Every structure is written in C-alpha cells, then in structure tokens.
Structure 1
Amino acid sequence: HHRQSQEFAPAPVPDRAPGRTLRSARPPPRSPLRTALSTPPLPTERGEEAIVARLPEPTTRLPREKPLPRPRPLTRWQQFARLKGIRPKKKTNLVWDEVSGQWRRRWGYQRARDDTKEWLIEVPGNADPLEDQFAKRIQAKKERVAKNELNRLRNLARAHKMQLPSAAGLHPTGHQSKEELGRAMQVAKVSTASVGRFQERLPKEKAPRGSGKKRKFQPLFGDFAAEKKNQLELLRVMNSKKPQLDVTRATNKQMREEDQEEAAKRRKMSQKGKRKGGRQGPGGKRKGGPPSQGGKRKGDLGGKMNSGLPGLGGKRKGGQRPGGKRRK
C-alpha cells in the first residue's frame, strides 16, 4: 500500500515513527477537554441514554456601525463655573407659598408667587402713571425668552465653531416682481387654519380663486370602456410616425410670446424716455416729455393769459385761440 501511494501521489509521504505521530496527535484533543474541565460546572440533564449538559446561549460581538458619541461641549456658563469652582446646588421642587399658604412648585404651572395671576399691580413712584404695567410685564417676559433663545443659539454656534450673522451684516433681498408678491400674498392668506375662508379682505379686494386642481381618478370597478378607449388611443399615438400637433396650444403659445416681446419693447422705450427727459417739479421745464402743469409752453391752453378766464385770451404764435391775437 505504501508503494502504491508513492507511485500515484505527486509528493511522497515521508516515513515517520509511530511514537512521533502519536505525540503530535495527542495535544489537540487534550486542550478542549482541559478547557471544559476548568470551566465552572454547567447545568446538566439526564436523558434517556446519557447525561446532557446545557450550554450557555451563544454570543456574538459585532463591531459598532458608528463611532462612539463625543461628549457634549460645555456651555459658556459651565465653562465659567468650572473655572471658578462653582458647583451646582440642587434645589427642591416644592417651596412654601405665603400667599396661598400651600406648598407649590417652584416653576411651571401653579407655581408659587405667580405674578401672572395678579389682578392688581402697584405702580412704582418713578414710573409713568398712564403706562400699562400688565403690558410692560408681558413685554419683559418676551425679552427674557428672546435673550435665552439667543444664548442657546450662541452655545450651539460655539459648539460647532460657527459665528451667527449680526444684524448689521444682513443684506436686503432682491426686488420681487408683481407676480411673486401676489403669489406670496396668496400663500399667506391660505396658510390659516380655515385655509383662508374666514380671512379678512380689503374693501376692493377680489375673492381668491382656487389655484389648485382637483385630481380625478378612474373608478376601480364598473365599466372599463373608457379605460379601454384611453389605452387604445395611447397605442395609436405611439404607433403613429407623424408628430401630433395641437394647433390651439401652439397658436396660444405664439401669441403669448409676441405679447411678451411687445411688453418688453414698451418697457424699454419708457425707460429710455425717462432717462432722456428726466423729471422736474411742478411748474418747471423738461425735455422729451409732456410739459408740466403751470409752466410756460407754446400752443397750449396754459400760456400767458390776459383775460380773467384761464386759457382764454392768451398769446400764441401760429395758432388760433378764442379771444386771442393771431400773428401772421
């Protein structure tokens, strides 16, 4: 057998002593047995033929998908408190309210010394007697809330190493057209809870028209003749080689483009006339535009007047005026 294996095997197997083979094969079975004996005893159960040990549940340690979260950055007050060694003191949630004679919460609903429930406020001696103290208190609370929100945003910006834009650095937006302003006003009107139904209108304001279109769907059951007709029409259009031209739509598009071009030309000409003629106040002279009211002009009813009636009896060259002199 050894000779046959050497003849057919590509690499001959070297001869080893039986003792060496036993020594090399003995340690592998020993290591699991030694590990099993060194571990704490497992719960066992006696079966029909042998004693069975119950192994613990298998556990698999998977790597994290994302890195560990970084510690939350300190706020400005926390940095100051750590620098000065200030330790936070936990306050009790309940305090004694002398007005009601009960233990109440320090903050929030039904708190102690709630100044918003007072029906009478004493006016300070140095304050204006006509000033509304209730409105002043509400305004002061709004300012405190706004200040806290600003501090919160500053802490977030400091944590992300960003800078908040100041009010002086804000730039105005571009000029909006009439269509954009109308669209913005329409959106603002329908943004109420009643979708603009009970929104107040101006005296001459028109009723808003529904800009949206209601979608119509084909019925899921019933007569499928309409669906069959639509599918056949779609197949006919796809199989036809000639392009489908909607004459009405193309004509309307052409007319709309022509109207836009004419409007652009008129706007351009009006801007040129304004730049050429300029503007002056009432009674002045200007070129390239209609004469202003009250100024001197020739051949019009607003010239020099000798009679008591305005525009009658004035002097004019090369024209005719009732009651005036005509120069030949």
Structure 2
Amino acid sequence: MADFVANVLREAQERKASFKSIEVEKGLELELDEGNLLATDPNPIDVKKLSENKEDYLLNLARDNTQLLFNTIWELPIERVDDVVLVKLPPPTTVIPREKPVPKAKPLTKWEQYAKTKGIVKKKKGRMVWDETVKDWRPRWGYKRANDDTKDWCIEVPAGADPNEDLFAKRKTEKKERIAKNELKRLRNIARSQKLKVSELNHTPTLKESRGEVNRKIAVAKLSTASVGKFTETLAKEKPAKNVGCKRKFTPNHSDIKAEAAHQLDLLGKLGKREVLNVAKAANMQMHEEEVSRAKMKKDNPLSLKKGKKNLGKSGKKFGKGDKFSKGDKKFSKPKKGFKSGRKGKVAKKAKR
C-alpha cells in the first residue's frame, strides 16, 4: 500500500512539473476587454522562432495570452449560485461590427396603438378559471375550456326570438364569423406592417365575382395538382383557359440518330438558303400603298382631285336632285316640290295625301 501511495505522489509531482506557470511576462501589457473576453497583443512577433517551428510558436503565444486573460477574469467579483462559481463581467469596451443590421421594431397593431393612446395597460390573466358547471378548474381557452357554451344540451329561447330557429346552429355560425373576423384583422395588421393594401392580398370577400375571375381560379386549381393539370377532367362545354400555355417540350437525350442528323441538316439548309423575292407580292403591296395614299389625299383635299367639276359642296360631293344642301355652298340645286331628301343621296317617295 505504501508503494502505491508513493507512486501516485511521484506521478503527481511529475505532472505538476510539466505544467507551466500562471505568471506570464510580456514586454508590453495586453489590451484586455473582459466584457467581450477579448485580448489584443501589441508585442511584435519573433520572426526567427516563427520560421523555425510555426505550430509550437503560435500555440505557446495563444496559451500565454489566454492565461493573462483568465488571470484578469479571476480578479473580478465572484458569485456562487448552486455550487457554481460565476464571474460578473464588466460592460464591453470594444465595438464589434454586426454581420446584419439592427432589426427594426415590430410595428404596433391597431389595438396596441389605441391602447397606447388611451393609456390602457395590459393585465396578464391566469390560464385556469373556475367552472361552476363542472365544479373544477378549467383552462380559459382551448381544449376542455371552462364555461363552454357549445357543450350545452339545452338552450333557453330568448324573448321575442323565433321559436323555430336552430339556436345551436346559430351559435356555431357566430363562432365561425368571429374566427373569420379575427383572421381578417390579423391579415390587415400584416398588410399594414408591410405597407400593402388589403385588397392586394385578395382576402376581401365580394358578393359576386366576374366570369374572368372564376375562370382564372379554376385554371389555377387545375394546375395545382401533382400532374400540373395533365390528368384533370374538364367540365362539359368548358372553354380552354386564356394566358395559360403549355410548358416547352424538349427532345429526349437518347433518340434516333438518323432523325437527329436529318433535323440538324434541315436547320443548316434553312440558314444557308437565301430568300427568293416574290415579285407579284411586292407589286401588290406597292399598289396597295399607292391606293391608301391616294385615298388619304382625296380625304384631306378633295378639290385638288376634282377640279373643274360643278355643283361641289364643302364635302366635295356633287349635289343631285333631292339632296340636302347647306347655305355655305355657293352652288346648289333645289329639290322638287313634294319630295323629301333622304340620307346619302336617296330620294324619298312622294308622301300620300
């Protein structure tokens, strides 16, 4: 037993001799920031030792600087909490740049703004409340909540209400309406925080939707399947959706080599082929342009094309018998008695007396 104790003590002495001292000497004192656990060494690096053995030199340098930092930390005030020694660090002195900008404050909801204006302070309510019906503590909301009116087996008909109305269904409907109203308020708060309009989120209900909107929603629902609408059945007399094109189809990587070679040769032939001038088509286009220009010139200045013709009005139209005339025209012909002038030069029949 004595030999065993002697061996343990000898090993402890050898291990203690291998440990380095906690006292480290430096030419220049380190710049320590205990709040950030940061130590900056202003001493110059020994280039000779670094070139001889880089790993050992950097390891010893890091060990000495860390030892000095821990020596300074143990000089700070110490607390003991549940057999754990804690050190109270001072506020940091070194400003460390952030990777991302400081997050903006969350915008207040409509109710929070109103409460802040009126000075309303939110009071935290306990989750458990007493239920007189069950005579037990139940949660205020959620599963098996207290005072749950949806579990009533009998409802008293209020005075003046319709006795044939289903009050159970009415309660369920009112609950769904409350849930929908709260959801709409939540979406409005999100839209306000994102500086968007509620109408852009397409959550506002409408009494009647247009036919185009219904068709668009049907097309979106069909394309939302796993097969992207490939196996979706169409309704009777259903028209194809507009602005919904098919995806591009690419030729498979493994196909017939002869067909691929023929396709490539066809493309090369089209690229090297010069376009032949179609004389008849070019002549027809030229004649059409001349006719259009002539008609435009006639419309702009009708007198230039009809010189020397008599009985011309302001519009350039020749007056005939039974036609209407205006006082601004210098030359005109009077209609015969008993006749009425019709539109576009048509003569009306003589009225029967």
Which TM class, normalised by the smaller chain length? 0.3 to 0.5
RCO greater where, 1 or 2, for CA within 8 Å and sep 6 or more?
A: 2
TM-score (norm 2): 0.38
